[in-house]
Chain A
Amino acid sequence: MIKAILIFNNHGKPRMSKFYEHYTEDTEQQIIRETFHLVSKRDENVCNFLEGGLLIGGSENKLIYRHYATLYFVFCVDSSESELGILDLIQVFVETLDKCFENVCELDLIFHLDKVHNILAEMVMGGMVLETNMSEIITQVEAQGKMEKSETLTLLFICQSMRQSQASRFSSKIS
């Protein structure tokens, strides 16, 4: 089971955090800081696996991380997950983000946090891997995005027509 998925940058600023177990808000922030502290100490050419910090379960849980440019993607998992498999999962996640955002960079994650959560929700649910097929994930995300767009368009249309009717009433009052 995946306990938490964290994305933070080289300075420890959280860019996305999703916990699949219950922690208080303070503990969550402490976990992010502790994980950053553990992961940032690592050299570039060591293995991608670490024992979990004390707050997140100690040596029973592992931190599996990948470092892309300015971002760390960290998955905290327990012993039921395959370490190498999670490495591949991180790769699939990042490639999906890349396809959805077109050459994703840190700014995209910053300004579209809700979209990142939506993409993640299509891949991991309740701490378990839901879907790993990139095209399938992207199809679903795009379909839901279309639904949202159509709703906002309807809203705009309604607002516009409301304003028009208001204006006409106003003009009729004057005249």
Chain B
Amino acid sequence: MPAPIRLRELIRTIRTARTQAEEREMIQKECAAIRSSFREEDNTYRCRNVAKLLYMHMLGYPAHFGQLECLKLIASQKFTDKRIGYLGAMLLLDERQDVHLLMTNCIKNDLNHSTQYVQGLALCTLGCMGSSEMCRDLAGEVEKLLKTSNSYLRKKAALCAVHVIRKVPELMEMFLPATKNLLSEKNHGVLHTSVVLLTEMCERSPDMLSHFRKLVPQLVRILKNLIMSGYSPEHDVSGISDPFLQVRILRLLRILGKGDDDSSEAMNDILAQVATNTETSKNVGNAILYETVLTIMDIKSESGLRVLAINILGRFLLNNDKNIRYVALTSLLKTVQTDHNAVQRHRSTIVDCLKDLDVSIKRRAMELSFALVNGNNIRGMMKELLYFLDSCDPDFKADCASGIFLAAEKYAPSKRWHIDTIMRVLTTAGSYVRDDSVPNLIQLITNSVEMHAYTVQRLYKALLDDISQQPLVQVASWCIGEYGDLLVSGQCEEEEPIQVSEDEVLDVLEGLLVSNLSTPVTRGYSLTAIMKLSTRFSSLNRIKKVVSIYGSSIDVELQQRAVEYNALFKKYDHMRPALLERMPIMEKTATNGPSETVQTNGETDSTILDTKHLPSISQPASQVGFLKHGFSIQTCAHFRSNPNPNIAVITIHATNSTEADMTEFVFQAAVPKTFQLQLLSPSSNVVPAFNQGSVTQVIRVLNPQKQQLRMRIKLTYTHKGSPVQDLAEVNNFPPQSWQ
């Protein structure tokens, strides 16, 4: 058969293809030719075929049939074959194919080859894709090569050792003796890779870390030589001598000096020297300075040095180069926890970065701004952040909105300001806020009793403008339902009261029900609001009409609500005022979390405002609860203040909003086998009706294996004379309760 075409020919041919289909056709033809050539077991052209196969692999076509051929090439004696074979092995093979184990013997032989380039190829391949079995077998050879005097092989062996350690951490001790004189090498390549090897060992094992601390003086000396030495052409990059090695050494110094006074002291001088002497006109200088700053912040440096570091970062922030600004913002984010005051000094620059055109910089600046918000600067910062929320990309809006809510909750100077801020967020970025912000806001409004009239007025006005932002509409309809009487009577003190009639309010709420923009949830909110107004307004007939219309709605949720409200009007009219009265002030839950509970005052329908709240992730204590037939259990997990970190203390509160007491109430819980449970005695066994009181019980769960906490609970009680039993499973405890 004719000789297979050369790689160059193939590339040229493929480039003439004008469509994807043409290219695919050519490649398939060539693959077929290559496959038949492989079958003929022809040694001369195997190398060429595999090279073509690798090119096709890069374009995205399947090339797995070449794997065995790569192995044959590796076993060949010729350097050209070996080179392509190893390259093919690195690109096409990985741990998941059993074929790769066949390479082990070849690599072993090649590691002892007479030519250094063949040894280099073997080291390279082992270092790139060696599996743990291969590494175990060949670690001895690598260790031998680590001690050789050939610098070309030594540096490759060092990186190969890093890979071996990553795959098989137990072998780390094996490489320890070889590291003894790694740092006395003159060759920068070997120095560089040795520092990488030492860094990897120190990061993995604290014993190694303490062992290598004695190398700090040597490292400091090498760094000093690099800085002080004059121009050396072979290591020079834009006027600085081997910046890559400098950066690596600084990073290793950072790891060695962390938490250790003596090492940190030994490094202070050199760090100050680097920080002051490095040229900052080019990127290389800034790279070294950046690394120096990070090291200073991490070790136990003296305060003068820290101030110097933060000032360098401040200078970076004003640099014209965007990369430098980005890097400065990233490192300030890391240091803001420890050196808060120093970073505050640069607050105005950081806030200016919010207006930058670059997306990456904006994101960093936003995160940093939230970290810098405190009680003193809340008003100013919030103005900037709200302006940012207006103008930023949609990707940011969700994060920004959550951040603003958190900050407002922590540092709000006044309730009115808080409500204003939240309203502003809802009107500008309403569709991007998280789902749990609606119940949060409702709870906040309920608890600020004096602001009810003002709030409902503002929300009403916002509704008149725009009904497309669902969270805003939901909160507004809830408020109007609750405080509609205040709205109509024009009692607002904070601002000019508006004149609104009952019919206008009902018009707006009915408009929400029919609008296409409203989601089913929003419709539910507005129907309930209309119902609540039946006790606050006097136009009962209109409300009755609306409610009965929706009794035949296609939406099951709306239909159920309407039917039940209808029943309220007809059969239970005497209960209606009690059921629909004002919400009581809700218990304040976790102060810095978005998850709250909302108690309902429905009777048989647990669907009104049924917020199965999502436990949030960043709280010290959060609540998980569920509702059953008007009987609600809230659990509150504490895990901060107990001495044993494996024990989670959970408190349950049981309340009953039905009209009869629940007597002989017993709460039982079961946990999976790996847990141990201890139930302490309850406060009482009668849960009074109409939420007049609650029963509290403390549960202690021992979780030594830190598995996810799950619990099956059983409730037995007597209600209206008949015994009731309920079973449920609680799975949504927040992660901190069991981590």
Residue positions of A touching B, CB distance < 8 A = 14, 16-18, 20, 22, 25, 29, 43, 45-51, 82-85, 87-89, 92, 110-111, 113-114, 117-118, 121, 125-133, 135-136, 140, 143-144, 147-148, 151-152, 155
Contacts and interface: CB of A to CB of B under 8 A. Distances in A.
A46 B353 CA distance: 13
28 contacts: A29-B60, A46-B360, A46-B361, A47-B358, A47-B361, A49-B327, A49-B360, A82-B287, A84-B287, A84-B324, A85-B243, A110-B15, A113-B58, A114-B7, A114-B83, A114-B87, A117-B87, A118-B87, A125-B128, A126-B159, A130-B155, A131-B155, A131-B189, A132-B245, A133-B242, A140-B117, A148-B83, A151-B78
A83 B84 CA distance: 32
Contacts of A147: 79, 115, 117
A83 B237 contact: no
B54 interface: yes
Name the residue among A29, A47, A51, A152 with the largest chain B CB count within 10 angstroms: A47
B283 A88 contact: yes
Nearest to A148: B80
Contacts of A17: 58
Contacts of A131: 155, 189, 192
Given A82-B291, A126-B127, A47 B83 contact: no
A81 B480 CA distance: 55
Q: A-B pairs with the 3 shortest C-beta distances? A: A84-B287, A47-B322, A126-B127
Interface residues of B, number: 70
A39 B242 CA distance: 29
Nearest to A155: B44
The B interface, classified by DSSP as helix, strand, loop or mixed, is helix
B163 A49 contact: no
Contacts of B159: 125-126, 128, 130
Given A22-B94, A87-B323, 13 more contacts: A14-B58, A14-B60, A25-B62, A25-B63, A47-B360, A84-B284, A88-B244, A114-B51, A114-B54, A114-B83, A114-B87, A132-B237, A133-B188
Given A114-B87, A130-B156, A151-B79, A84 B244 contact: no
Contacts of A83: 323, 326-327, 330
B514 interface: no
A20 B129 CA distance: 8
A82 B322 contact: no
B55 interface: yes
Contacts of A50: 360
A43 B357 contact: yes
A129 B124 contact: no
B54 A130 contact: no
A167 to B, nearest CB: 19
A136 B324 CA distance: 30
B59 interface: yes
A136 B322 contact: no
Nearest to B79: A147
Interface string B117-141: 1001001100110000000000000
Interface in B36-87: 44, 51, 54-55, 57-60, 62-63, 78-80, 83-84, 87
Nearest to B92: A25
Contacts of B245: 132
A87 B196 CA distance: 19
B78 A128 contact: no
